[in-house]
């Protein structure tokens, strides 16, 4: 079985240190579609939940 412990260790991106190596990639979701370019309440809520989940960079 492969070990993924490295993912949960701190890492660096240039001068920025992140608490782990988990990254949420850029993607399109229906949560950010307002039709006018503004962030919606749903989008804001989703990003807050992702940041609380332990993802170091989103």
Residue 18, in any domain of the structure: yes
1-5, 6-10, 22-26, 53-57: which is most confident: 6-10
Residue 19, in any domain of the structure: yes
Instruction: List the domain range (segments joined by +) for residue 35.
Output: 5-52
Residue 58, in any domain of the structure: no
User: Which pLDDT belongs to residue 32?
Assistant: 59
Prediction pTM value? 0.53
- CA 53, 14, 7, 5 dihedral sign is negative
How many structural domains comprise the chain? Answer: 1
Residue 57, in any domain of the structure: no
User: Which pLDDT belongs to residue 15?
Assistant: 95
User: Which pLDDT belongs to residue 41?
Assistant: 84
Distance CA 33, CA 42 (A): 9
pLDDT per residue as tens digits for the range 7-47: 889 989 899 998 888 887 776 666 556 667 777 888 788 87
Tokens of 43: 């989008």
């Amino acid at each position: 079985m492969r070990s993924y412990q490295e993912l949960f260790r701190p890492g660096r991106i240039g001068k920025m240190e992140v608490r782990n190596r988990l990254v949420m990639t850029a993607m399109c979701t229906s949560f950010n579609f307002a039709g006018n370019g503004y962030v919606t309440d749903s989008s804001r809520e989703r990003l807050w939940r992702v940041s609380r989940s332990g993802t170091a960079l989103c």
